[in-house]
Amino acid sequence: MASILAELPIEVEKSTLARLYPDTRRGYQEKFNGEYRTICKDSNGIHDYNRNGEAGKGLPSDLVAALKKHPLHQFVIAGELVGNQRLHLFDALILGNETIAGGTYEYREAQYHAQFDGFDKLILPVYTARTKEAKVALVERLMQDGAEGVIVRDMLAPYVEGESGQHKKVKFWKTLEAIVMGPSKNHKNSVRLGCYDNAGVLREICGASTIGKPVVVIGDIVEVKYNKGTRNLHIMEISIQRVRTDKRPDRCTLSQIVVNKDFRQ
């Protein structure tokens, strides 16, 4: 198979969601916390590729077995591999003898649902909210669930490699206050950040880069932007925003952390 680059959504502000609720051309989907995969089935078996069109890391054996059992003799599909277990399927470029990459996303979405809905529990076709009411409900549910964010699809767009701008993503960034515990042990230009648990013990929640950030010292309280929290109450995708001289240390608690839905299971 010729190398296929991923079609990557561009990140936009959260306010975009409300602005596009009435737009019938836009569909909303959950943004999953996984690894992008383009998957090809042909006479030689199952092959996976990353977002750069390079050979992927491989797929779990149960998922490969399920894909091989699909009645189509060939296909090229795309999705997010979550937890190295489930494929959340959100696009199809070839199904059987039909090449559909040039068709609208609306058509491609209908086709991947027709071919994969109910096929196997490891392959989950992604739901698209179309109406204003459905979009609002989806966004509210995803925020309550601690999801990573929302993908906004242009339902009339053909497949275009790279960041064309026709599809967009909104990440649910959160903020909290944390205490600088000291320099990171294994990384230069990085500090360890912590919050207090219920017993009043300061627990490390992450390491954070200080490159291009305000100068901090041990004991400083900083505002941190992050995308997701884990079940062990660590945070990921972190950026120090500013030093907070107006906050008390006892307000820097683990209870601030919003645990991502994938870590609640």
Domain annotation for the chain: domains and CATH numbers: 10-171 (3.30.470.30), 174-263 (2.40.50.140)
Closest CA to 17 of 28, 6, 1: 28
Q: Digits of tens for pLDDT over the chain (265 positions)? A: 567 899 999 999 999 999 999 999 999 999 998 999 999 999 999 999 999 999 888 999 999 999 999 999 999 999 999 988 999 999 999 999 999 999 999 999 999 999 999 999 999 999 999 999 999 999 999 998 889 999 999 999 999 999 999 999 999 999 999 999 999 987 788 999 999 999 999 999 999 999 999 899 999 999 999 999 999 999 999 999 999 999 999 999 999 999 988 777 6
Q: Which amino acid is at 116?
A: F
Q: Tell the burial category of 238 from Cβ atoms under 10 Å away from its Cβ (0-12, 13-18, 19+).
A: middle
Closest to 218 (Cα-Cα) out of 243, 255, 201, 246: 243
Is-contact 145 261, C-beta < 8 A? yes
